[in-house]
Amino acid sequence: MGMLDGKVAIITGAGRGLGREEALALAREGCNLIINDLGAGFDGSGQPTKIADEVAEECKKLGVKAVGNYDSVTDFNKAKAIIDQAVSEFGKLDILVNNAGILRDRMLFNMTEKEFDDVIAVHLKGTFNMTRHASAYFREQGKADPSLKNFGTIINTASDAGLLGNVGQSNYGAAKAGIAAFSVISAMELKKYATVNCVVPIARTRLTTDATPKMADTMSKTDESGFDVFNPANFAPMIVFLASDKARRITGEVFRIAGDKCWVYQGWHAVNMVDNGGKRWTPQILAERVKSELMKGLPRKETLMDAVGLLIKM
Q: What percent of the chain has pLDDT over 70?
A: 90
Taking the mean position of all CA atoms in its chain, how far away is CA 9? 15
* Domain layout of the chain by residue ranges: 8-264
pLDDT in tens, 203-236: 776 555 554 566 556 656 666 777 788 888 999 9
pTM for this prediction:
0.91
In the set 72, 135, 159, 244, the catalytic residue is: 159
Topology of domain 8-264 in CATH is Rossmann fold (3.40.50)
In the set 125, 135, 170, 172, the catalytic residue is: 172
User: Which CA distances in Å does 104 have to 112, 122, 198, 268, 274?
Assistant: 10, 11, 22, 26, 41
Q: Is 176 a catalytic residue?
A: yes
**Which phi and psi (to 5°) does residue 6 adopt?**
80, -5
Q: What's the angle, vertex CA 105, arms to CA 45 and CA 167, rounded to 5? A: 165
Q: Is 193 a catalytic residue?
A: no
- Please, are residues 86 and 7 in contact by the beta-carbon 8 Å criterion? no
In the set 7, 135, 176, 186, the catalytic residue is: 176
- How far apart, in whole angstroms, are the C-alpha atoms of residue 101 and residue 95? 19
Q: Is 214 a catalytic residue?
A: no
pLDDT band at 60; cut points 50, 70, 90: very high
